[in-house]
């Protein structure tokens, strides 16, 4: 839920941030109702609502098509900040951005810096990239977008800092309204993300900050790609 989660593991070993045997997430069972794909009608309604709210919506049949669309939107050589995203990892976007040398990838630069002595530089580098990309946790049928985060490091660029924003979103993340979106975050995303972070870093996570984008007022700034398959959490 944010790049700072990962950066913490390089420098922080505080006991309160570490999971013990008693902190297992076996009692957190994801609500599988939120794993179901949206119908064609719901996808179309949501896409139209997003467009009405200033967010360009594109519908992709699968992850491969979403990947092709993504790279048509991002020119080679562009500066790109990626929020931590299982979706982008799954369809190969993260690997191409961070490792192909075809783009000016922000994440590798941030990881190469010393968090203890260069925290200010890290914040500035990740705060206003030309492109910010990732996924989201819920999209309502009214065209509202919800992103939950433990640290909030990706929320600033998404909200206003980045020049352009691209979100790739599996169709299982479409919900009726904000109430259902919050339920999805707490009942489905949080258990899965907690287990994900425990396996990767032996750390927990939390819904400490939630960004809700009701509307984008800057034309052509945000593109949301809805993928007709289950991707990410």
Q: What is the 3-state secondary structure (H, E, C) of 171-212?
A: HHHEECCHHHHHHHHHHHHHHHHHHHHHHHHCECCCCCEEEE
Across all residues in the chain, what is the average pLDDT? Answer: 90
CATH class of 33-227: alpha beta
Query: What does the pLDDT read at residue 129?
Result: 96
Chain segment 91-149, per-residue pLDDT in tens: 999 999 999 999 999 988 998 999 899 999 999 999 999 999 999 999 999 999 999 99
Chain segment 135-189, per-residue pLDDT in tens: 999 999 999 999 999 999 999 999 999 999 999 999 999 999 999 999 999 999 9
Give the pTM. 0.87
Query: Is the pLDDT score of 21 beyond 80?
Result: no
Domain ranges of the chain: 33-227
| pLDDT-derived band at 1, boundaries 50, 70, 90 | low
User: Which of 167, 173, 162, 169 has its CA nearest to residue 130?
Assistant: 162
The 3-state DSSP composition of the chain as helix, strand, coil percent (nearest 5) reads 45, 20, 35
Query: Is the pLDDT score of 26 beyond 50?
Result: no
């Amino acid at each position: 839920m944010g790049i700072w989660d990962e950066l913490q593991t390089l420098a922080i070993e505080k006991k309160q941030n570490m999971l013990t045997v008693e902190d297992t997430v076996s009692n957190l069972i994801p609500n599988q109702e939120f794993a179901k794909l949206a119908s064609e009608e719901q996808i179309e309604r949501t896409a139209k609502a997003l467009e009405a709210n200033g967010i360009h919506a594109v519908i992709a049949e699968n992850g491969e098509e979403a990947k092709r669309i993504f790279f048509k939107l991002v020119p080679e050589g562009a500066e790109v900040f990626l929020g931590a995203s299982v979706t982008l990892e799954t369809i190969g976007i993260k690997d191409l951005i961070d490792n192909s040398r075809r783009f000016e990838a922000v994440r590798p630069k941030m990881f190469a810096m010393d968090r203890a002595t260069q925290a200010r530089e890290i914040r500035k580098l990740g705060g206003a990239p030309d492109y910010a990309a990732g996924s989201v946790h819920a999209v309502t049928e009214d065209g509202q977008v919800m992103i939950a985060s433990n640290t909030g490091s990706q929320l600033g660029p998404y909200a206003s800092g980045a020049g352009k924003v691209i979100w790739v979103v599996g169709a299982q993340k479409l919900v009726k309204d904000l109430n259902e979106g919050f339920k999805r975050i707490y009942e489905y995303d949080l258990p899965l993300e907690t287990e994900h972070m425990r396996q990767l870093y032996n750390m927990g996570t939390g819904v400490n900050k939630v960004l809700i984008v009701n509307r984008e007022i800057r034309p052509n700034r945000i593109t949301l790609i809805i993928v007709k398959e289950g991707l990410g959490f």
